[in-house]
Structure 1
């Protein structure tokens, strides 16, 4: 199993590292915002997340002006699909009721990766640990899936924390 550590430099920048080699980076334009943000895969490929819809429950992932992925928020989790292959979606789901973390599965329900949060009390930022097969995460699309899983895991944790404090 491959282990990827995701650290937060500040609340707007998350970096994924495997053995001190950067796999990707998410940069949010504003604090506590899901508005337009950027994902860098490796050191070269730049993707842009653009929210769509009235409630901004859909995202389009753009590489330049080309839509690479479309995502949608559902009660069962998040669904990501390629515009060229919409019948083979990827899904981000919670591991279970008493389990902390999330999984990403393909259209065959095969688990591609598991993501678990780990909070740093020293820095007061959440970090994440991703476990996946050694063969996963080697090409740019799989690295993009890893970074999007971090984005959605962060969103789900923020939503849970917000609903817990609004009681």
Structure 2
């Protein structure tokens, strides 16, 4: 089990850290778009909406698609990964109202990570506390999945506030 902290200074840049070690940075181009850049230790990835309505979002390394996600009819986000040419599926969902959190689960329903948002009222920016499972910690591409989960949480929050 590993703990991560997510901090944002301006609601466009989110840094994920484990203790003081920087894992990655998620950088949005503007408030109203889901385009983003994901910077990690030795790699950069692009996150881009696809399709006419932009409902499917792709994470790419150059032109290679590493994963896709979309929100389904009941508010869950379905994630498909293509790491090392192996297709895997995950569900990212919101749970709770007063003690809200987000959960990433595999296709069997096993919880891989729990993300708890914390709205900083003084700046109106979200920060997150993430706890991963021992199973998640064994994943080869866990950092990309961790950063994608952060993007999914921000995507979910913006979709829900847009719907209000």
Interval containing the TM-score (normalised by the shorter chain): 0.7 to 0.9
SS at match of 2:9: strand
Following superposition, the deviation at residue 122 of structure 1 comes to 2.9
Following superposition, the deviation at residue 55 of structure 1 comes to 1.3
- Post-superposition CA distance 1:36-82 (Å, at most 9, x none): 311112x2111111211111110121112211112122123111112
* Count of aligned pairs: 161
Q: Pick one of 50, 53, 60 that aligns with 2:51.
A: 53
Alignment of 1:38-117 (within 5 A): 38-41=37-40, 43-76=41-74, 77-83=76-82, 84-86=85-87, 88-96=88-96, 99-117=99-117
SS at match of 2:136: coil
More strand by share: 1
SS at match of 1:155: helix
Give ranges in structure 1 of 5+ residues lacking alignment: none
Following superposition, the deviation at residue 104 of structure 1 comes to 0.3
Which residue of structure 1 aligns with residue 25 of structure 2?
Answer: 25
In terms of mean alpha carbon deviation, does 45-54 or 73-82 score higher?
73-82
Find out whether 1:7 has 2:10 as its counterpart. no
Matched-pair contact (CA < 8 Å) for 1:137–1:146:
no
Following superposition, the deviation at residue 155 of structure 1 comes to 1.7
In terms of mean alpha carbon deviation, does 4-13 or 140-149 score higher?
140-149
Following superposition, the deviation at residue 96 of structure 1 comes to 4.1
CA–CA distance in structure 2, aligned partners of residues 121 and 50 of structure 1: 29
CA–CA distance in structure 1, aligned partners of residues 97 and 108 of structure 2: 22
Matched-pair contact (CA < 8 Å) for 1:120–1:126:
yes
Following superposition, the deviation at residue 112 of structure 1 comes to 0.3
- Post-superposition CA distance 1:7-39 (Å, at most 9, x none): 1121211111110111111111122311x3111
Following superposition, the deviation at residue 162 of structure 1 comes to 3.0
Over aligned residue pairs, what C-alpha RMSD do you find? 2.0
